[in-house]
Chains A and B, each alone.
Chain A
Amino acid sequence: MRKERFSARRWRITIGFFLASATILALPAKGFPQSPQPNAKEELLTLPGEVGHSGGRLVISLRAEPKTLNPLTAAETPSREVIGAMQADLVHINRATQLTEPALAKSWKISPDGLQYTLTLRQGLRFSDGHPLDADDVLFTFHVYLDENIHATQRDLLIVGGKPITARKVDAYTLLFQFAKPYGVEERLFDGLAILPRHLLEKPYQDGKLAQLGTLSTPPKEWAGLGPFRLKEYVAGQKLVLERNPYYWKTDSKGNRLPYLDELVFLFVPSADAQVLRFQSGESDLITRLGAENFSVLSRQQRGYTMADAGPGLEYNFLFFNLNDLGDKSSLDFTRKQKWFREVKFRQAVSAAVDRDAIVRLVYQGRGSALWGPVTPGNRRWVNSSIPHPPRSLERARALLKEAGFSWSVAANGESALQDSEGKPVEFSILTSSSNADRTKMATLIQDDLKQLGMHVQVVPLEFRSLLDRVTQSKEYDTCLLALASFDSDPNSDLNVWLSSGGTHFWNPSQSHPSTTWEAEIDRLMEQQLATPGYDQRKKLYDRVQEILAQNQPMIFLASPDILVGAKNSLANFRPAVLEPYVLWNVEQLYFRNGAENSSR
């Protein structure tokens, strides 16, 4: 092993010498990897951690083809995962510590009033096509993100206090960002905002073609980023191949330029089971987003790979009731149901009757945690640990229902049935996504839990797209079981869920003004924490939001699965995190212990 590492380093030194001594021969000889000219002024970032060696090719499965490589328009997980390996941001959140770290900006300063951020860029950095980076690229990037015609997915995050933030260039490597109001997120705002290459995108932008750029079929030469990898090849329906970015701006503690891997291959494998088979047969080196059942199958027959439970993630599963004001569209039958759903004691009773421990045990095989609020135990910084965790109690549920005017009658089949104050039986349905076996299972468990309260519940598995359509568009449903996975631990990543005006305020989305007093209070608290600098103050406000949610139960929080991943034993520096991307967040540091074997594959 030592010998291999030595030879690899010597090879790189040779290439460096070759290029330095013969700059006229700018075109590298065929088969030689490109390497940048040594640059004395290059301010590289040195990463701590195990020192590896170059080479190798890492294969990982994606659930679907990424729709785009363009950070401006990417919204779904596969796109975000690929873009994460190709782009870089000014300030980055370390996925393991959940704290911010300098990235393209080597330092930042926030003015005492919280309105001005001064960022200093690293000098001498280059895009993956060799073009140098300076403040103009950053200015261009923010200009584009804020352009309404582009419809960038991140645009909302850059509007503070109703006004877009403004960026100003101080000198070639210093930028000044001006905010209309103090912004509670502070420098975390810059995470995930990929800095775009102005030299490639300015002309298409002026021609109004920017949003169409960066499809998978883009020729690699017309696309560049600052991430550890760059586009090499795309085979439709099969795979996307990224190659090492020779200009990447991080090194290991020995000064070797990262990333170690030569190639990163994303295979498109649509089903979870097929991904497991690929991983089992050694066709892919990493597996992520595993269900507990497949995780235990893989754990049972370990051959040359290691499975890891990274602990509770940020995904929370919940059941919510249709509290929309449907007006004239509502049928008599549905108005009656909504009368129950609007009764907070009814919701509390349902929550008290749900056996969360059984959900964790039967659905996640114990690899998960029960939830009583939206913030999972995986989000250590923001979870309100004082929210009560009442154990399941049918007595309490029955008492709550009695207080709310419900009563029981003996049905024809000898079982007791719950009825409302008008004597109508309590019956409703739960929508779940048919493609998600875990959530369908949860619904079946809840169905049985509620049967013991005398509620007659039907589980309706529906194709995911039509489910979303019903929940957000036509609003024709009783209750629905869904999950959300925040991409960051910060409360602002769920702003759209808790604000009553939010599009994913599922139980009653996009309200013009909050329909209940507690929703109004959540609105006020969320907006207040948005403008409050300092973690302690914001935590207090967000704790209160969590309390109100736990009290009013617009969503009945159920459980949160652990992040379950696996990797080949030969993969080193493998450190799964509970934040997305769970396994690729340190892709630049991943390497194969037996590099030669893997690169020849």
Chain B
Amino acid sequence: MTRPRKLARWFVALVVLHCVVAGAGFFAPYDPDEQDRERPYLPPMRIHVMDAQHRLHLRPFFYPLRLREGSFDQYEQDTTSAVPLHFFIRGAAYRLLGFVPSRLHVFGASGARICLLGSDAYGRDQLSRILYGGQVSLLAGLLGAGITLFLGALIGMAAGYYGGWRDELLMRAAELFLALPWLYLLFALRAFLPLAVSPLEAFLLIVVVIGMVGWARPARLVRGVVLSVKERDFVRAARGFGASDLYLLRRHILPETASVLLTQAAILVPQFVLAEMTLSFLGLGVPEPMSSWGNLLASLQQYSVLVSYWWMYLPALAIVPFFLGYLGLASALQERTGAYKIDENSSWSPT
């Protein structure tokens, strides 16, 4: 009784999180590439309801920050002018989900910029960059996981169902792929590509590489399921009635692997998001000025940023709810399939 509800809860949480990232244009107050060269490394700004004279404001407001005289990155609050926060305000143009042109933002202000999570070296709003960066990182993770699972299911089913030398060949190839140092592979691959790679090309490259190298583990799992399922009575019966291989695979065997594939998906997505972040962190991801969670963290490679601007760590925190959601979903899925299999006295385990 509790299990499906747990699953649903994780699932809803994830859907909400993804919607926020997918609708980054709406939730982010500014264009992620818009530079404010007068205000680099702006610390996160506070929202007040009580002003300096201890008067209560009904509408939340913030005090704009201004550069302290003669300094580069020291700011002080200008408490003389309170800038009210507006909700559903018109601002920078964007295209919702890449299609719907709009100018509506969930919050913003006129007269001064509000940077809730501070700004980076170019004065770009960190919150907007994290939200837009999430689109790149999450999409890379989801697409990568999609490719991996497709390849894994295909190869795993072929190996498990046909067996014999085909099985041998495919499984040895899988072992080879598991042993491949994929980070270096990517470095090498990048060296062969033309000099200037457009953001889209760089993104597709990451997705394809991540997707291509990860198929071995799901393939092995799927093969295991197929090996046991193909000997089950209902499969034998269907074959006895003259069902073709393709029909058997599609109608009887593939559905049996669904729970394994789903669990794998929930585990693989965060893994691949992390892979994308690693690549971008090392400068192999999407180029500036586009953001992704990885290249947002890249500035932390500099000692001066590391010790001076703590809010540059925040993109690392952004991944926490997503990972929590995916891993929670994975364990809920695993529990469900595990219980189901134990009931059936199955000979295989989901991991």
Interface residues in chain A, defined as those with a beta carbon under 8 Å from any beta carbon in chain B: 272-273, 276-277, 291, 293-294, 296-297, 300, 355, 358, 361-362, 365-366, 413-414, 429, 431, 434, 437, 441, 444-445, 447-448, 458-462, 470, 476-478
Contacts and interface: CB of A to CB of B under 8 A. Distances in A.
B58 interface: no
Contacts of B163: none
A291 B121 CA distance: 15
B305 interface: yes
A331 B82 CA distance: 58
Contacts of B121: 362, 441
Contacts of B288: 444, 447, 459
Interface of B: 33, 35, 37, 40, 72-73, 93, 95, 101, 121-122, 195-196, 198, 283, 287-289, 302-305, 307-308
A458 B287 contact: yes
13 contacts: A273-B303, A293-B302, A294-B303, A294-B304, A296-B308, A297-B307, A362-B37, A362-B40, A365-B73, A445-B37, A448-B33, A448-B289, A458-B196
Contacts of B303: 272-273, 276-277, 294, 297
Contacts of B305: 293
Contacts of B302: 273, 293, 437
Q: Which 10 A-B pairs have the closest CB atoms?
A: A293-B304, A273-B303, A429-B196, A365-B72, A358-B37, A458-B196, A297-B304, A294-B304, A444-B288, A460-B196
Nearest to B40: A362
Contact of A459 (B35, B72, B93, B287): B287
Contacts of B122: 362, 444-445, 448
Contacts of A460: 195-196, 287
Given A272-B303, A276-B303, A277-B303, 12 more contacts: A291-B304, A293-B302, A293-B308, A297-B304, A361-B40, A362-B122, A434-B283, A444-B288, A445-B37, A448-B33, A459-B288, A476-B195
Contacts of A476: 195
B30 to A, nearest CB: 14
Contacts of B93: 414
Nearest to A414: B93
A297 B308 contact: yes
Interface centre among B35, B121, B195, B304, by most chain A C-beta atoms within 10 angstroms, is B304
Contacts of B101: 414
Contacts of B33: 448
Nearest to B70: A366
B72 A296 contact: yes
Contacts of B35: 445, 448
Given A362-B40, A447-B289, A429 B283 contact: no
A273 B302 CA distance: 7
Contact of B304 (A296, A413, A441, A462): A296
Contacts of B307: 297
Contacts of A276: 303-304
Nearest to B198: A458
Contacts of B196: 429, 458, 460, 478
Nearest to A298: B304
A471 to B, nearest CB: 12
Contacts of A441: 121
Given A296-B72, A445-B122, A429 B304 contact: no
Contacts of A462: 195
A355 B121 CA distance: 15
A459 B40 CA distance: 20
Contacts of B95: 413
A277 B37 CA distance: 29
A561 B37 CA distance: 18
Nearest to A428: B196
Contacts of A458: 196, 198, 287
A361 B67 CA distance: 12
A461 B304 contact: no
A277 B307 CA distance: 12
A210 to B, nearest CB: 39
A363 to B, nearest CB: 9
A456 to B, nearest CB: 9
A256 to B, nearest CB: 40
Nearest to A478: B196
Contacts of A365: 72-73
Contacts of A362: 37, 40, 121-122
A477 B37 contact: no
Contacts of B72: 296, 361, 365-366
Contacts of B198: 458
A300 B35 CA distance: 26
Nearest to A357: B37
Nearest to A295: B304
Contacts of A300: 308
Contacts of B195: 429, 431, 460, 462, 470, 476-477
Contacts of B37: 355, 358, 361-362, 445
B289 A461 contact: no
B37 to A, nearest CB: 4
A94 to B, nearest CB: 32
A431 B196 CA distance: 9
A52 to B, nearest CB: 33
Interface centre among B33, B195, B305, by most chain A C-beta atoms within 10 angstroms, is B195
Contacts of B308: 293, 296-297, 300
Contacts of A414: 93, 101
Contacts of A444: 122, 288-289
A185 to B, nearest CB: 39
A311 to B, nearest CB: 17
Nearest to A466: B191
Nearest to B101: A414
Nearest to B72: A365
A273 B288 CA distance: 23
Contacts of A437: 302
